[in-house]
Structure 1
Amino acid sequence: MNKFIPISLINLTPLQSDESVNSEIHIDDLEIINNIQESIGKGGRRNIIDILKFLIPNLLKQKILNISNPEIHLRISGDGRNVGRKVKQVMITFAILNNKNNLYYPENHHTIILYPGIEKYEILQVALEQLIIELRTLKEKGLKDHQGREWKIELYFSSDWKFLAICLGLNAANSKYFCPWCEISKEQQGDLSLEWKINKTINNIHQNYKCYRGHIRPAIFDMIPLQNWVPDELHIMLRITDVLWRLVIDELKSRNTWGNKARDVIIEEMKRINVRFHFWLEVGSSTWQYTSLMGQDKLTVLQHFNLSKLFPHSRAIQIRNLWDNFYLLHKAMKDFNTDAKMFSNDTHAWLHQFLNSDFYQASDITPYIHVLVYHIPEMIKIHNHFGLAAFSCSAVEKKNHQQVSHFFKKTTKDGGGGKNGKGRKSAILDILEHENRMLYFYNCNEIESIHLPKRLRI
């Protein structure tokens, strides 16, 4: 398979210095952390055109692609898993949106670039250099497969906010001009008389990125139209749920009811709804930290946490109503049949409720809330053929987590295997070779032809 889809190494060693600390740790296994750290500076890549040519025959056979309509919708995604406090495993993948019924499976997101290190513009520029050339070729010339058939390629991009902003050359989310799609400033977020639409274009950014305030570098994927940079619905849910929970904690503090009793009540209520949760104090700090919940646990809290255990009954009902309405928006966002206009009306109504005098202030509006209210309705309308769930990064995150947990847990690190530190190749190569093998098995139907051993009872 490595002959059909060669694996190349990328040297990123000179670019990896960074003092930032991961705010949230996804993997804390010491062996994995050590193995990742020893692999820093060594990346791997596969050619997206090679992989596409290998995939096309089976996609035609499954009637996912149709030669009478020779167009492939190609989604690029990026993810960085936090391994310990200092390192990430950064993965770039692509998926074929034509295969929309199977995008929830990690194996349908194909790794094209992989490196341990950090999400940083300068590193991504180098790591993605060849991919950028390939994508520009696909955009401008299309693809000719092994049978000489020509395919038109439509490109898309989806990731969490940080990765998307880096690739777009945009300021951080807490900056004054933060939005990838419109020119809103933080001061304008509370003005509900204003309506915000996608008014930036990738052509303008490509010609002069400084024409839009907040853009500080050229876009990396400047061949992808801006309306095809699609927000990840998973992170919209995660981050807005974080805000709603933080505001509950802040309100307890403002009511002077934030103490051991309140924390004990929260822990007991979390136990009742089967969510693992605890509080702790960092050494030398008086600020209580608490468990960072995974996606499903956040949804469980959003749906089932009994707020009347913390607030007077009338106030608990108010907050519960706000939470329930957001949960309904989350469900509608993922529903293929959601009407864009109705969703827009519902998000605007929710924002009015959020800013009601009984609730919160304009300063509590986050970039993800802005995107939910003003740009998700547009995205639902633009991408109605696939549905917004087709751009979820859940499968990409799962794939990255699985690969790190498996391949860096084994002693396959550079420097392993004997006293001389030789004899074992890097886990990066192991991962990409494993992907090549899986491509062969899935696309050549080898798995179905393997005869499993039978047990005989005598």
Structure 2
Amino acid sequence: MGLNAPNANYFCLYCNCDAASRWDMDQVWTNTGNSKCTKKLALFPAIDQNNYIPDELHLLLRISDTLMECFFNDLTKKKEFEKQIKPNIEAAFKDLGVRFEFFKSTSSKWNWTSLMGTDKKKMLEKFPVAQFITGIRGENIEVLWREFYRLYKVLRQSQLTDQEIYQFKVDAENWVRAFCRPSQGFINSSLNFGHYRKADVTPYMHVFAKHIPLFMHQLKSKGLSLRIFSTSSIEKKNHSQVRLFFGGTTMGGGNKERTVVYDIMSFENRKLFYLISNTPKEITSRNINADNKENLSHSFNDPGQ
């Protein structure tokens, strides 16, 4: 769309909100486009601004990434993290049926397993956050996780009334307010500890609260919904190709002198040819034993089918 990166001061694809105001849910923004961060001409100028639909899958992935990072950053600072907290967190994920572990990077900083969408849904719905952060703050952060998952399920519904969309808008804005709620009270008295900083509110959270409701109304008027435009099937295809060809990453790979893209496209073209030509998905070879005259048949499946 010809704009700067999401970490620019004017970060949003859909409005002129600046980075310092992302947390402010009292400001009103509409899908008028970003006129303050234009870097180049739009790649597809014929596409109307309102037809750039946000992807619900990446909202889930990136916002849950932020929740995980804020949560783990609180814990990795504690001296008992490696011996006590770390194994307990890994065990809690295992109880959910999710493969997860912490590991140290080359800079000795703690990193963790990157989860797929399905595992992140399990985490948001069931992970016992309050077990690892004591007091009311831990309970409130666990509510943040559960509420975000509930809102995500709402935005994926195929049919919503205008009232339901309005309620989603109110709840999403309140969720962002709760996310960056400051500490309340006085020192040496009853103090209600806050959750996270205003600076921790991300561009995805801004879009989630301020623009998703507008797109929900827009799509409803056309008999459409956000889930129709999800890239989940594309992401699943990409994940399958990576696992099939490389078992890891598409970066720096390829067979011999062929590029990664060449290998994948050749594989996809072969599958399309099989489909169009009605080619069988398996072949049967017959081995004839000259001694006992018995025919042995073996079936071989195409690994790409």
Instruction: Please indicate the TM-score interval, normalised by the length of the shorter structure.
Output: 0.7 to 0.9
**Corresponding residue of 2:171:** 346
CA distance in 2, matches of 1:435, 1:217: 38
Residues 1:250 and 1:282: Cα distance change in structure 2 (over 3 Å): closer
Q: Which residue of the other structure, out of 23, 31, 34, is the alignment partner of 1:190?
A: 23
Q: Which residue of the other structure, out of 316, 337, 340, is the alignment partner of 2:138?
A: 316
Secondary structure of the corresponding residue to residue 356 of structure 1: coil
Percent identity of paired positions between Structure 1 and Structure 2: 31
Equivalences for 1:28-427 in 2 at 5 Å? Answer: 168-200=1-33, 212-253=35-76, 258-283=81-106, 285-338=107-160, 339-357=164-182, 358-384=194-220, 385-406=223-244, 413=255, 415=257, 426-427=262-263
CA distance in 2, matches of 1:322, 1:395: 28
- 8 Å CA contact 1:265–1:309 kept in 2: the answer is no
CA distance in 2, matches of 1:353, 1:366: 14
C-alpha displacement of 1:353? 1.6
C-alpha displacement of 1:342? 1.9
C-alpha displacement of 1:318? 1.1
Residues 1:278 and 1:414: Cα distance change in structure 2 (over 3 Å): closer
C-alpha displacement of 1:429? 5.0
C-alpha displacement of 1:286? 2.4
CA distance in 1, matches of 2:78, 2:240: 43
C-alpha displacement of 1:265? 1.5
The residue type equivalent to 2:225 in the other structure is G
C-alpha displacement of 1:172? 1.2
Output one character per residue of 1:291-349: Cα deviation in whole Å (capped at 9) or x when no partner: 11111111111111112321224333211111111011100010012332221111112
Task: Between 242-251 and 225-234, report the one with greater CA deviation.
Answer: 242-251
**Corresponding residue of 2:292:** none
C-alpha displacement of 1:440? 2.7
Secondary structure of the corresponding residue to residue 53 of structure 2: strand
CA distance in 1, matches of 2:119, 2:265: 34
Task: Between 326-335 and 242-251, report the one with greater CA deviation.
Answer: 242-251
TM-score normalized with structure 1 length:
0.52
**Corresponding residue of 1:108:** none
C-alpha displacement of 1:372? 0.2
Structure 2: stretches of 5+ with no match in the other structure: 183-193, 248-253, 285-305
C-alpha displacement of 1:290? 1.1
Residues 1:276 and 1:169: Cα distance change in structure 2 (over 3 Å): same
Secondary structure of the corresponding residue to residue 289 of structure 1: strand
C-alpha displacement of 1:244? 0.8
- 8 Å CA contact 2:55–2:230 kept in 1: the answer is yes
C-alpha displacement of 1:394? 0.7
CA distance in 2, matches of 1:225, 1:256: 53
Secondary structure of the corresponding residue to residue 280 of structure 1: strand
Secondary structure of the corresponding residue to residue 215 of structure 1: coil
- 8 Å CA contact 1:307–1:316 kept in 2: the answer is yes
Residues 1:255 and 1:282: Cα distance change in structure 2 (over 3 Å): closer
Secondary structure of the corresponding residue to residue 5 of structure 2: coil
The residue type equivalent to 1:172 in the other structure is A
Output one character per residue of 1:93-125: Cα deviation in whole Å (capped at 9) or x when no partner: xxxxxxxxxxxxxxxxxxxxxxxxxxxxxxxxx
Residues 1:314 and 1:405: Cα distance change in structure 2 (over 3 Å): closer
Residues 1:428 and 1:262: Cα distance change in structure 2 (over 3 Å): closer
Root-mean-square deviation (CA, aligned residues, Å) is: 2.8
Q: How many residues align?
A: 259
Secondary structure of the corresponding residue to residue 111 of structure 2: strand
The residue type equivalent to 2:42 in the other structure is A
Secondary structure of the corresponding residue to residue 360 of structure 1: coil
CA distance in 2, matches of 1:375, 1:439: 41
Structure 1: stretches of 5+ with no match in the other structure: 1-167, 202-211, 417-425, 454-458
Output one character per residue of 1:344-370: Cα deviation in whole Å (capped at 9) or x when no partner: 111112122212222122101101000
The residue type equivalent to 2:172 in the other structure is T
Output one character per residue of 1:379-402: Cα deviation in whole Å (capped at 9) or x when no partner: 111112221001110101122333
